[in-house]
Amino acid sequence: MRYFLIFITFSLISVKGFGQYNIAQKIALNNLVNPTTNLFIHFDKNVYSNNETAYFTAYLLKTGKFKHKAHKILAVTLIRDMDSSLVKLDKFLIHDGFAFGSMVLPDSILTGDYHFLAYTDKLINGKPELTFKQRITIKTNIDLPFKGNIAFLEKPNPKAIEHKLLISVTSNDNRFLPKPTIVNYKYGKEQKTAKTDASGQLLLTLPKQENLIDPNIYVRLKYLKDSTFLSLNLPPNKIKAVVKFFPVGGNLVNNVASNVAWEVTDPQKKPIAIKAFLYKNNTVIDTIETSSYGIGKFKLVPTADATYSVKLAHETMADSTYILPKALPRGLVMNITNVLPQDTLKLQLRSTGEQKVFIRVHNFRTCYVDYPFDTEGYRTRSIRVPLTEIPKGIHTVTITDSLDRPLAEQIFFAHYDNRETIKIQTDNPTYLPREKVTLKLSPNELKSNAIVSVAVVQENRISLKNSNDIETYSYIKNELENAPSSINGTGYKDKNYFEQILLAKGWRRYTWQQMLETIPSDTMKRMDSLSMVGNIKKGTKQITKPLSLAIFGGNQIKAFDSSPQGNFDLTNPEFISDYGKKMYLFVNDPNKESFNLDIKDSFEKTSKELAKTETYFEDVVPLILTNNTDLVLKSNEKAIRLKEVTITNKKDNSFNYHGAPGANACGDYVCRYNILNCQNHVADIGNTQPIRGRTYGGTMKAPYMGCTTFDKNEKSYVQFSGIRYHKEFYLNDYKDPAEPALFSTVYWNYGTILNRDKETELSFYTSDVTGVFRIIVQGITDSDVVYSENKFEVKQKGQIN
């Protein structure tokens, strides 16, 4: 076989017409119609407990129809995966493409899988232009009111026609509960309610259901006012694997050697590593296998008289024979020798005959190469494309005939090794609890200055199944449809993972045919903004002149006027309050009793709709939780919680009186260590309400000014959820030995500017929590995203050598 080597240079880009538009113009038009956007949010960790604070930095990396500065508000919602219910919504200010924020998780939140869903205020055809989702798991730092467990009564038998399960419920100290527990369960199409017996047990006998999309049983246990969730995978008798074949380049062609990628998953899209036999008619011609990602590759030269199939070599698989797609009698086969090229893209073309084709390198946004080429029958043509002018990222090679009909297509990633990294160094590899850590960030490998966020968190608060980073998200997850997560959590840095994804998961958000069908009128989109607006009326009548209104939040009152018709806008940046502070709007008029206020917050409606319509993630099976104690923090990671008591006396003016329990109507509180609004004890059961005129520890040294409240029956005032400032991370040196310091996030910093010409030094203290801690630094430079990490360990005295 003869090989021909051809070099394509950028001076050979053609401008062949396509009706009124050539292909380069069509691709540019597609970018206007379907722009790729990118919002990434760095959360300090992805495993939280109730009452913890989640800190985050949002990066608006790429907008579509709207410019960066047009996006003003970032909404962050917390959604429970089990039932897609909206748990919490907070709103934060966006400035110059950044948003900094925090969210305190409710103290009463149930354990399990959740996700943050964030979006901005700009809408395209009724949907947010920028959205982002982050999986999290929530554990609890409170001793459970009861223990629940679900297990198979006996070892699962593949030949049995039913599942036998035992649900057991006991008190936290393993005693029988005095009353039965209500059990709600769902398995496939079956949903029922039952109760445990006197010994706290319930035996379930469930007929097996085959071919379920979700084979789990989901159980909710409710005892008195407390609830918990359990789940268990119920395996079918035979697993019906989902097998897909991806001839590299697009099609098999008779008598032309092709590479074929193949993928094996279960119905829940979980990858299956398996061996199989490749058949030509009824004869085995090869043994093939998939990796831990469920992806493999083999070579094949198909012939016209043969049927090719794959038979899985596993006895638990149902329908284990799968037919390959039929080969074309004539055509062209393309293969990229390295899908992660650095400077030069190498193609091999094999064709059954002479044909005029066009080779195009593009990313559905810009066409970089448009080169006419003549194929020759049954000859291998090697082509090299320099990548000098092609930017870093995923690109597509599309080969079409003279009528621009696609013949072959494959994706690759240009300049994979061009990573911008930050060197992270600690002054010691191991520390004692409450010891100072000095951190040095060396950005001298960056091409420009960087803006980053820095998190130092306990390593067991970073779950692999929830893992996400700015590099993997920007270059893989945001570019490819439903790209699976990296098994080891390294994502972009896992070269083997990336290569397999490009082979078998190479579908883009937009196809060649879709791109060709775009027309200029498709660029017309309905552009709108979410709002928080209100109206004031005198009784039921519209007012005719501006009326004075005021917003009270924290310790500040801000006055403004409505329009002559009584309308007003609450998204004004001047109306921002500190996080956790309640916000009130009231009429600033002597005759306020005759006026009625009404506020319409479109963020609340949109959040509820997105919680139901935005599927959270498709490539991971929901959490399997057979025992609710698995989501309880270890004893050395949580403080002792005081039992709640009832205060009977309503007022006490004595000097030792510490105030009523909890926070006051303004959200202010004093922790047990006499610190006003202590960041370490948000919603702690030992908190008390501050007393007007007293001076407390913390950032505000002046006497407490008190809390102004309003009569809830008044229609001239209303409480609302406004835009919040982010809560600053409280850097503590833990000098008070009596104060527990059980914090899994020991350092958080946002908007840190790194000068590439010098080191940046940061310092913080370890907490009382021992174990491995991970340092995560991620952000942006002038031209790229950046991600780096390192680790250190905290040990008790005597454990350090």
Helix/strand/coil for 747: strand
Q: DSSP letters of 240-261?
A: E-EEEEEETBS--BTTS-EEEE
Position 554 scores a pLDDT of: 66
3-state helix, strand, coil in the chain (%, to 5): 10, 45, 45
pTM, two decimal places: 0.86
Helix/strand/coil for 760: strand
Cα of 667 vs its chain's centroid, Å? 30
Judged on CB neighbours under 10 Å (0-12, 13-18, 19+), 229 is buried
Residue 409 gets the label, from left (phi > 0), alpha (psi -120 to 50) or beta, of beta
Give residue for tokens 């959740």: 114
Strands of 415-525 (E only): list them. Answer: 423-426, 430-431, 436-442, 450-458
Report the alpha-carbon distance of residue 105 to residue 108 in Å, rounded.
9
Q: What are 229-273's pLDDT values in tens digits?
A: 899 988 887 778 889 999 988 889 999 999 999 999 887 788 889
Position 713 scores a pLDDT of: 59
Residues in CB range of 323: below 8 A, 6 or more apart: 307, 308, 309
- Counted residue by residue, the chain has a size of 801
Report the alpha-carbon distance of residue 706 to residue 690 in Å, rounded.
8
Based on its alpha-carbon atoms, the radius of gyration of the chain, rounded to whole angstroms, reads: 31
Q: What are 599-614's pLDDT values in tens digits?
A: 999 999 999 999 988 8
Helix/strand/coil for 529: strand
Q: How far is CA 332 from CA 117, 212, 518, in A?
A: 44, 40, 26
| Amino acid making up residue 760 | T
Report the alpha-carbon distance of residue 267 to residue 211 in Å, rounded.
8
Q: What are 623-667's pLDDT values in tens digits?
A: 577 888 888 887 666 554 444 444 444 444 444 566 788 888 777
Nearest Cα to Cα of residue 792 among 420, 432, 492: 432
Question: Strand order in 332-336's β-sheet?
Answer: 3-7, 380-386, 344-351, 332-336
Position 20 scores a pLDDT of: 39
Residues in CB range of 707: below 8 A, 6 or more apart: 664, 665, 666, 668, 692
Judged on CB neighbours under 10 Å (0-12, 13-18, 19+), 348 is middle
Tokens standing for residue 649: 């006396």
3-class DSSP string for 57-68: EEEEEECCCCCH
Position 33 scores a pLDDT of: 87
Position 311 scores a pLDDT of: 94
Report the alpha-carbon distance of residue 124 to residue 66 in Å, rounded.
9
Q: Which stretches of the chain drop beneath a pLDDT of 50?
A: 1-4, 10-20, 618, 620-622, 640-655
